[in-house]
Amino acid sequence: MSDELKKGLEGVLVAESELSYIDGDEGQLVYRGYTIEDLAREASYEEVLYLLWHGELPTEAELEAFEAEMAAERSVDDAVLETVRDLAESDEVPMAALRTAVSELSAFDEDADEETDPTDREANLAKGKRITAKIPTIIAAFTRIRDGEEPVAPREDLSHAGNFLYMLNDEEPDDVMEDVFDQALVLHADHGLNASTFSAMVTSSTLADLHSAVTSAVGTLGGSLHGGANQNVMEMLKEVDESEKDPVQWVEDALERGDRVAGFGHRVYNVKDPRAKILSEQSEELGEAAGDTKWYEMSVAIEEYMAEEKGLAPNVDFYSATTYYQMGIPVDIYTPIFAMSRVGGWIAHVLEQYDDNRLIRPRARYVGPTDQEFTSVDER
């Protein structure tokens, strides 16, 4: 057994997966053999969920049934909604509120009985539909209550993306908004063994239940080095705008101070994140539709400078930030929206883990003191 230290498990192979493939040198992302470009432009989020969970794209009849099953699970129990209300009124951080609410969902899930086999695939698919369908309801309710408004009940006649925007704003989104948001959900649905996905796998490897695994993943995604990056990008761009400086000059000043520029660099990609390419187009389209492309133009100027001067390319967070902002989505729920999408990938990876489970148990190299002599407490 090798004693080579791999901090952060970088480059360590720990599993085989049929779900997603990333080529960081070529800038490619593939879900079950389909390029992210094709899926984002041609498939709905519901189709991608079906693909990840079942291994193939659905037929028209299968998709219609799947959409109906998901839509029927959107409502949350009153007790969960009360918890969400309490958390919103106490100014809880959105991701912490989501983590708590997701955990509570298990108390009202008919397939979450303690005696149920945690690896039962059909039971987990049923639980997965419920969790995925209810997370948007939780996020929208939390946001509205916090902002002094009452939650909007979900509707079953809207798409997953359209229903969330409806619950958030109390009005149906136009086709452009719905399509752009649906694309964003597809782009974020899975991405290999990222930190939150891996935490879900570690939890499920102990034969803990699906709700526990997803709760672990939500907690992991809440960290600023993972899911919080797009919020950091938008806060940076707003600071640039408020400074009234040229964006390039602002970045030069920031780098001179030793500050990081949010939204650049990635643990996997050595070139531009393919998801960023698609979202940059959406950001431009939204700006043109609104008659104000300043956020897009600012982003492009920063991207070009960072590429020329630092050799760094933008990641998905860089353009998802302005895309969401131009849709009127509050900045501090960007990460919960990330979770709303990525839960599909988390569940798919947990299903794979259960199918061929082995407890995930790495080792650490001990570097502490040795040969200590114990003394009784009265002699210390």
pLDDT at 5: 84
- Which fold does the domain 229-326 belong to in CATH? Cytochrome p450-Terp; domain 2 (1.10.230)
Beta bridge partners of 273: none
Per-residue pLDDT of the chain (380 residues; tens, 9 = 90+): 567 888 888 888 899 999 999 998 898 999 999 999 999 999 999 999 999 999 999 999 999 999 999 999 999 999 999 999 999 999 999 999 999 999 999 999 988 876 778 999 999 999 999 999 999 999 999 999 999 999 999 999 999 999 999 999 999 999 999 999 999 999 999 999 999 999 999 999 999 999 999 999 999 999 888 888 888 899 999 999 999 899 999 999 999 999 889 888 777 887 888 999 999 999 999 999 889 999 999 999 999 999 998 899 888 888 999 999 999 999 999 999 999 999 999 999 999 999 999 999 998 999 999 999 999 999 99
**Alpha-carbon gap, residue 198 to 121, rounded angstroms:** 19
pLDDT at 1: 52
As annotated, the active-site residues are 226, 266, 317
DSSP 314: B
pLDDT at 11: 81
Domain 31-223+332-355: CATH class, spelled out: mainly alpha
**Closest to 37 in 3D by CA, of 270, 272, 275:** 275
Domain boundaries, the chain: 31-223+332-355, 229-326
pLDDT at 229: 81
Burial (CB < 10 A; 0-12, 13-18, 19+), residue 5, is exposed
Distance of CA 152 to the CA centre of its chain: 23
- Centre a 10 Å sphere on the Cβ of residue 117 and count the other Cβ atoms it contains: 11
Sign of CA dihedral 141, 328, 216, 353: positive
pLDDT at 114: 66
- Centre a 10 Å sphere on the Cβ of residue 271 and count the other Cβ atoms it contains: 14
- Centre a 10 Å sphere on the Cβ of residue 354 and count the other Cβ atoms it contains: 20
59 token code pair: 């037929």
**Closest to 159 in 3D by CA, of 58, 93, 71:** 71
pLDDT at 2: 62
**Alpha-carbon gap, residue 341 to 217, rounded angstroms:** 12
pLDDT at 146: 97
DSSP 22: E
For the chain, the residue count is: 380
**Alpha-carbon gap, residue 329 to 332, rounded angstroms:** 9
